[in-house]
Amino acid sequence: MITTQIMAARPLAHEDAWQREETSGRIAWWFCQGYFRKQNGPPTNFVICLFHGYDFDENDKSHNYLFIALTEPGLPEQRLTCRVDQVFIDTFHKELATGKINLGILDRFMAEAILKEATEYGLPGHFELAAPPSIDNTSGWHIQWDDFRLIWKGSRINFHFKEPKAQGQIHFELSSENPALDLTTMDIPRLENTSYITFPRMKLRGLMGGDTITGQAWFDYQDTDPSEIVLEKCGKQSRLIGWEWFAFNFEDGSDWLLQQYRDMKTKEVLDKYAVIVQPGKPPLIIRDFIAEPLSHWVSPFRHIRYPIAWRIHIPQQAAEIEFFPDSPDREIPMIGYMRAVWEGDGEVKGNWQQREIKGRGHVELSGYGYIFDFKQYTKVFVERVDALIEDFFPRQLDENSLESFVGRPVWQHDPETLTEALSAPVWDLLDRGGKHWRPMLGLFLLETLGVPTEPYEALLANVIELNHTGALIIDDIEDESLIRRGEECVHLRYGTDVAINAGTVLYFIPYLILTKDLGLTERQLVELYRIVISFQIKAHFGQGMDIAWTKKMSGKWLRNKIRNGFSKQILEMYSMKTGAATQGTAEAACVIAGAESPVRKAYSDFGRIFGVSFQIVDDVLNFSGSLHWTKRKGEDLEAGKPTWIIVRALELLKTEDQERLIAILCDPEARNDPLCLKEGVSLVAKSGALEQGRRLAREMLEQEWRNFSLYAPVSEAKTMLRMLVTGLLSFDEDY
């Protein structure tokens, strides 16, 4: 019988400022990966892992998570069982109640979205919520969790479980002729307070349904303090630890285990080790190796970038080996901030001490799903949107691009002139940066409906972002603006005539993508055309109201408007000028997904309300003095624009202050006087309108989110959508 004891902490093998703070909590897990096959049948790869978190101070508060993944050759999808107990959800409630929601290091909006979605709406459909398992280690290990059973005595381990996404039962026994490796005794970094037992090569024999199965497996057991391999603290600082874990079984009978730990925020490698086991020889302990990723894969729904193929060089052993996975899509969902891990099998081959070796391998990638910073997370979207736009509307127009836009020439095109007149001003503005949250909104909305975005990403990216860019160019002309994204406006740099033409082109040219084969029906295409025409009409009606109000600005007119519900009319204008685009985006996602009418209405309402809420927040931020705010403080007041915040301030101020703000707002000379403008900004702040705006935007979104959630199923995409919209309404100018 293998007995495991929790080891007393030993001094660290390295010296640095991060002296780990031990906790009363522990994490144990039983991990098994390998393959089995029926007689003369193809192999089925499998991964099984049971996590058991417990606390010495609260023995009845353990939390558990189980995943089982089966993959067959030639099939891209894996079959999954993911099971969690209620205590996990209870810990989320506790974190929300205490306000300790992001471990002091993760993006706070991501953390809040994960916790709130789980506690308010439950878990995504691929998770099973079950009562806690029975775990007994009085005589070996005996674990029972519904249909899952693990029994471990000595060098024999039995698994029994229901086949994922099927009704059959699978039972197998693992046996090993070699004793287990106890890595705890090998003075390995980050295992100072850990029990780590591994059987690298075990024979597998059992039954799948009524058929005999045979195969091979690798089995691990660990019991550790989370401060060693999950969350490391130093005073008020924290860092989350992740790793790459490599398990290789070579045809020469040698088994290799390599692992390197990273600070997942900086990606700095903190510790590493390798163990090589050869038949009849003591294990080799290696302190250093070089692991270089050869290729990456981005998961389609979580958008996590994993390094899935590797080259490993061990100078001490004159070894260089490469691992290539059988399939890239081997992501497994996790509960909480980690979001997912990657568990992939594949071929491994290379050279070791001047001889060729080959075999099978398994790689585990943990911690790559953490989101530390929203901007960093969205960087992959921003870069993708830019690439899609450039692919459709290139910086340098040529004969081919012009032919795709306007057809073959009757006489002769002039690509150089059209580049100067169209591409140059457009890309000048695009290159100044932008959050690209509007295309992201569309992509997340489509994913909440269960539709992969890749076939439609060019449509969403170009229609949404190019339409928005065109609107910015035209709006700046109409508003006589000077600055856009920190530089002079396009019409000031290229001329009003060029700017009007370029901006107008962007209203129409993206719709050419609808003429391509998108796999949509004629009815869907017609409905998408209807949506874009409707949103353009509404947006221009809203802009018309905004322009007319600004031109009519006078004390008498303004007082009359305030007496007759002007602030409500402004919200209606916002629903057209700003909300129409986000509403249209939501409706387009529903059309592409083929959603039913009630779903479409819920999505449409959410899109409109979010657009209005965002505009209110934009009004609030217009009075911000943050260095991150790229417009001038009080720019709306300076321009004489009756925004909701300004009008609400007039409604709230007492007569004397109200009249003074009206005088400043209606007098161009006063608005352009720095002292008067500063006084006006102070009056708006004094009124309490900024606080009301913050509260209104938040309450509108929260109420609409509850309705939206009746129709949008719980999913990773919905959680990320919540992170996006709450972050954008956070009043954090740098979000």
Tens of pLDDT, residue by residue over 349-395, are 999 999 999 999 999 999 999 999 887 888 888 999 999 999 999 99
Cα-flanking dihedrals φ and ψ of residue 451, to 5°?
-105, 125
* Residues 396-400: contacts with CB under 8 Å, at least 24 apart: 396/423, 397/422, 397/423
Helix, strand, coil percent content, the chain, rounded in steps of 5:
40, 30, 30
CA dihedral 522, 528, 529, 535 (to 10 degrees): 170
**Is the Cβ–Cβ distance between 22 and 220 less than 8 Å?**
no
Measured CA to CA, the distance from residue 533 to residue 491 in angstroms comes to 26
Secondary structure element (H or E) that encloses residue 219, with its range: strand 211-224
**Is the Cβ–Cβ distance between 334 and 327 less than 8 Å?**
no
Measured CA to CA, the distance from residue 606 to residue 114 in angstroms comes to 20
Q: Which two tokens stand for residue 13?
A: 């093998």
Q: Which two tokens stand for residue 687?
A: 């009124």
- Count Cα atoms within 13 angstroms, Cβ side, for 516: 12
Q: Residue 479: what pLDDT?
A: 87
Query: What is the reported pTM?
Result: 0.90
Measured CA to CA, the distance from residue 326 to residue 344 in angstroms comes to 7
Q: Which two tokens stand for residue 143?
A: 């674990």
Measured CA to CA, the distance from residue 97 to residue 658 in angstroms comes to 41
With a cut of 70, list the residues of the chain below it in pLDDT: 1-24, 56-60, 234-235, 625-631, 731-735
Parallel, antiparallel, or unpaired for β 211-224 and 25-38? Answer: antiparallel
Measured CA to CA, the distance from residue 389 to residue 461 in angstroms comes to 7
Cα of first residue to Cα of last residue in the chain, in angstroms, is 55
Please report, for residues 298, 442, 511, 724, the alpha-carbon distance to residue 454 in angstroms, rounded to integers and kept in the order given. 12, 12, 18, 20
Measured CA to CA, the distance from residue 487 to residue 493 in angstroms comes to 9
695 Cβ contact list (under 8 Å, min separation 6)? none
Q: Which two tokens stand for residue 156?
A: 């024999």
Q: How far from chain centre, in Å, is Cα 376?
A: 10
Q: Which two tokens stand for residue 656?
A: 């004397």
Measured CA to CA, the distance from residue 678 to residue 635 in angstroms comes to 11
DSSP state of 166: S
**Is the Cβ–Cβ distance between 666 and 554 less than 8 Å?**
yes
User: Read out DSSP for 388-438?
Assistant: HHHHHS-SS--HHHHHHHH-S-SS---HHHHIIIIIHHHHHHHTT----HH
User: Read out DSSP for 586-597?
Assistant: HHHHHHHHT--H
Burial class from Cβ neighbours inside 10 Å (0-12, 13-18, 19+) for residue 560 reads exposed
Measured CA to CA, the distance from residue 29 to residue 49 in angstroms comes to 7
User: Read out DSSP for 343-374?
Assistant: EEEEEEEEEETTEEEEEEEEEEEESTT--S-H
Q: Provide the H-helix boundaries in 134-247.
A: 226-229
Q: Provide the H-helix boundaries in 564-632.
A: 566-577, 579-593, 597-621
Domains annotated on the chain, with CATH? 25-366 (2.40.370.10), 380-434+454-519 (1.10.600.10), 520-712 (1.10.600.10)
Cα-flanking dihedrals φ and ψ of residue 240, to 5°?
-95, 135
Q: How many CB atoms lie within 10 A of CB 521?
A: 11
Please report, for residues 233, 445, 506, 612, the alpha-carbon distance to residue 622 in angstroms, rounded to integers and kept in the order given. 39, 28, 26, 15
Burial class from Cβ neighbours inside 10 Å (0-12, 13-18, 19+) for residue 673 reads middle
Tokens 């600005």 sit on residue:
553
Q: How many CB atoms lie within 10 A of CB 720?
A: 26
Q: Which two tokens stand for residue 471?
A: 């609107």
Residue type, 547: I
* CA nearest to 509, candidates 413, 379, 409, 397: 397
Q: At what angle do helices 655-665 and 644-652 cross, to 10 degrees?
A: 150
Q: Residue 71: what pLDDT?
A: 94
User: What's the farthest any 2 CA atoms get from each other in the chain?
Assistant: 97
Q: Taking the alpha carbons of 104, 110, 113, 114 in that order, is the dihedral positive or negative?
A: negative
Q: Which two tokens stand for residue 298?
A: 């981005």
Cα-flanking dihedrals φ and ψ of residue 177, to 5°?
-80, -15
* Tally of residues, the chain: 735
Measured CA to CA, the distance from residue 358 to residue 518 in angstroms comes to 43
- Count Cα atoms within 13 angstroms, Cβ side, for 404: 16
pLDDT in tens, 146-170: 999 999 999 999 999 999 988 899 9
Q: Which two tokens stand for residue 77?
A: 């999808």
Q: Residue 632: what pLDDT?
A: 72
Burial class from Cβ neighbours inside 10 Å (0-12, 13-18, 19+) for residue 674 reads exposed
